[in-house]
Amino acid sequence: MNLLVTGATGKLGTKIVDTLLKAVPAENLAVSVRNPEKAESLRARGVDVRHGDFDRPETLDLAFAGIDRLLIISADGDNDTRIRQHTNAVAAADRAGVKFIAYTSLADAGESAIFLAPVHRFTEKAIIETGIPYSFLRNNWYLENEIGSIQGVLAGAPWVTSAGSGKVGWALQQDYAEAAAAVLAGEGHENTIYELSGKLLTQEELAAALGTVLGKDVPVQHVDDAVYGEIMKGAGVPDFVIPILVGIQQGVREGTLEIESNDFEKLLRRPAVPVDQGLRQIVDGLSQGK
C-alpha cells in the first residue's frame, strides 16, 4: 500500500510524515513537495520525495502515479488561488487512479459561514464528485495559531480579541497530525467526516489557561473589529494579513468554530492534549527559541 502526503515540508505536513514513519515502512511512503530540495532529510530517511506543484498539473500526474492512499493538505493563499490549486490536485488524483483521498478541511465546512469555508466546501465537493472514497479531516483551530498573541502576553501586552464570547476547539498541530496519519495509514475510514476539535473555550478561558501556565494574570482586552485591526497594524502585522485576522475573529464571534466533537478520541484513542498542557509546550518552545 503506497501512501503520499502533499505539502510535506510545511509545519503540519512535517508532523504528519514524522508520525507516519513510526507506523509504516519508509519505502511505502511518498511525499509531494513544490521544492524537493527542502525534503532532502526525508529522502535520507528512505521516503520517496516527488516534485508536485499544485500550479503545474503535469507535475502532479507524476507525483501521484502508483499511489493508493493520498493525503491532500490544504494549500495556503487567497480563496481563488486555493480553489484553483485544490482543483488541480483532485483532478490529478482522479487521473492517477488513487483509491482513497484524505483532505485537511475546516470545522463544519459544509455549513460554516466563516470566510475560509468556501475553499473547503468546494474541495470536499470536488473530491466527492470523483467517486473516490474519501475522509474529510475537519480541523477546528491550531493552538499554534495563537503564538503571536502569546508572544504579546510574554512581552507584557494584554490578550486582545474582538471575538467576544465565541468558542473555539483549539488543539495542538501534533494532535491533528496524528489524527491525519491514523486515517491515511488505517482502515475503515472510507467516506467519513471527522470533526476534530479540542475542548471548546472562549478567549477569556484561553487567556486564563495561559495565565495559569505563566503564573500571572493575563488581562483580556475586548475590542471591536476596527480597533482590533488597528492594534494588529500597530503590532507590525502586514496590511494584507489584517483583514484575514479580523475575519477570523468575526467568525469566532459568530460561533463558526463552536463545534463539539469527540472524534479525536475515535482516531487517537485518547482526547486531544488539554489546552493548558499545549500552552505549556508552546511557551517552553518559545523560551527555547523554537
- Which CATH number fits the domain that encloses residue 39? 3.40.50.720
Q: Is residue 134 part of a domain?
A: yes
Q: Is residue 41 part of a domain?
A: yes
Is the pLDDT confidence value at 9 over 90?
yes
Q: Is residue 66 part of a domain?
A: yes
Cβ distance 205 to 174 under 8 Å?
A: no
The tens digit of pLDDT for each residue in 148-184 reads 999 999 999 999 999 999 999 999 999 999 999 999 9
Q: Tell me which residue has cell 498541530.
A: 173
pLDDT at 73: 98
Q: Please choose, from the candidates 251, 259, 260, the residue with its C-alpha nearest in 3D space to the C-alpha of residue 113.
A: 251
How large a percentage of the chain has pLDDT more than 90? 97
Domain count, the chain: 1
Q: How confident is the model at residue 119 (pLDDT cuts 50, 70, 90)?
A: very high
Q: Is residue 184 part of a domain?
A: yes
- pTM (predicted TM-score): 0.96
pLDDT at 205: 98
Q: Is residue 190 part of a domain?
A: yes
- Give the integer Cα–Cα distance in Å for 262 and 60: 35
pLDDT at 34: 95
Is the pLDDT confidence value at 289 over 80?
no
Q: What's phi and psi for 270, nearest 5 deg?
A: -165, 160
Q: Is residue 9 part of a domain?
A: yes
Q: In the beta sheet, which residues pair with residue 5?
A: 31, 71
| Segment 110-124 mean pLDDT | 97
| Segment 28-53 mean pLDDT | 97
The tens digit of pLDDT for each residue in 41-53 reads 999 999 999 999 9
**For residue 77, what are the domain limits?**
3-143+170-197+259-273
> Please, where are the H alpha helices in 164-224?
173-185, 203-214
| Segment 40-68 mean pLDDT | 97
Q: Is residue 27 part of a domain?
A: yes
Q: Is residue 115 part of a domain?
A: yes
Is the pLDDT confidence value at 115 over 90?
yes
- Give the integer Cα–Cα distance in Å for 72 and 67: 12
